[in-house]
Copies of this chain bind each other. A is one copy, B any other.
Amino acid sequence: MNDQLQLLTTAANVLWLLLAGFLVFFMQAGFALVETGFTRAKNVAHTMLMNMMVFCIGAIGYWICGFAFQFGAVNHAYPEVATAGAIAGPWAFSPLTLGSWGDSLGSGIRLGEQFGVLGTSGFFLQGIGLGVAGIFAFFLFQMVFMDTAATIPTGSASERIKFIGFVIMGFWVSMIVYPIVGNWVWGGGWLANLGRSLGLGNGSVDFAGSGVVHMTGGAVGLAVAMVLGPRIGRFNKDGSANTIPGHNIPMGVLGAIILFFGWFGFNPGSAIGLVIPAVVDASGNVTTAASSIPINLTSVAAVNTLLAGAAGGVGAMTYMWLFGPSKKPSPAMSVNGLLAGLVAITAPCAFVSSIGAVVIGLVAGVLVCLASFALERAKIDDPVGAVPVHFVNGIWGVLAVGIFAVGNPDTAGWNGISPAVTGIVGGNFVQIVPQLFEVLAIATFAFGLSYAFFSVLKRAGILRSRAEDELNGLDLPEMGEQGYVTGGVAVPGGQVDHIPVPAGGVSTAPAS
């Protein structure tokens, strides 16, 4: 019966990973609604479809090469890591919970012996047997994480990006930018190994991706917003700014609640399982006991996520009510505050106490307001606040690990380093350093490279929509369909549909 217990343990771990992945997938609906609700009625078909197609495009791109670049080296020999820490093994970066992966995903590129930079196996999921449930579940989970990063820049680029430009951007993030950053932190790459290679704490620690996912997506979003330039009418020649309100607050709030719901897959699911099975030798003796570390991390992450998201909403609402321009509890900013709290807790959610989570969330709620105002002063037009939410609070989240981590015993051995992850509040002033490394690496690579890439696209004339299309709304000229249509009545977008009724009259007879 021990066989059955091991099978069931792995199956339960895989199931939780899959369910978490499904929840993260559903965040796509949240992004679609937030971005569409916070932009104008004349572009709704364009904005919504970007958010649906970014998943479709990204799935294909990630399947072609993204997954291979990110995780193709995950079983690569890092022998030092494999034996260094409490949760070490063939891969010290966690999927001990997902069964044996044999020799799959075992080739990559390194700089020197220590600095992994790219995986090189698993293209098109080839070479992986259909019975290796763990890898398939892992692929799905990682694909939807990538998708979150890929969908963030559609917000900052909305209302003025050509659809073909968006398509190229989708491949860009899913095939190149995200997988490489992801390799460095989660695929056994150099940032994760900074503890072992340079003695910097536990290396870069990012539980669920404040940096890997959100800051990366936000960095791409900042680049595309800067290259595209602001929407027509957003800034005046005298330097002052015009607010362009979103067309549908209920849509945006619904999106935020859906995102929060999905985040319960995003963060807790990043424990990648429930129970680490025991290691049994050939005689059937247990050589390493089973451990409930993953479910412990799952539970703590869930509660911290809940509290930080809530605190983010409270923080932004309170700040705007007391200090904002209108002195009222701004719905749009409250939404972004809630999302900012969620972004910020994403990296530290398994490492901090609930008090830490509330503080991180409250700060995030204020930070998103301040960043929004600063962005406007810098004349960067980000219609939905993707940069303040994801880029700025992604940075805040990565750094918060180095500040608020309390040395949760279940995190001992993280990245193959024995001590538990501990930040400044726990008296460890070193962990902030690899966190800064992660921030700088992502800012340089994701932002820098994307800025150059989008500049080329812009010069090629395939990035920014034509001015008249932007003024009239992108739905008809770009998509060929109006987003809102209502029988002869003026509606959002100001366009009217006509059902032509020819002089010959119409038929109502059944077709058969």
Contacts and interface: CB of A to CB of B under 8 A. Distances in A.
A8 B10 contact: no
B236 A353 contact: no
Contacts of A21: 302
A497 B251 CA distance: 18
| Number of copies of chain A assembled together | 3
B410 A131 contact: yes
Residue picked from A130, A506, A510, most chain B C-beta under 10 Å = A130
A345 interface: no
A2 interface: yes
Contact of A48 (B1, B15, B29, B331): B331
Interface string A14-49: 111011011101101100110010001110110011
Contacts of A140: 299, 302-303, 306
B236 A502 contact: yes
A426 interface: no
A52 B300 contact: no
A150 to B, nearest CB: 12
Contact of A237 (B231, B253, B303, B504): B504
Contact of A494 (B290, B467, B488): B488
Contacts of A8: 5, 8-9, 12, 274-275, 290
Contacts of A228: 510
A291 B11 CA distance: 10
Contact of A49 (B238, B290, B329): B329
Contacts of A29: 254, 257-258, 261
B41 A487 contact: yes
Contacts of A44: 249-250
Contact of A32 (B60, B253, B274): B253
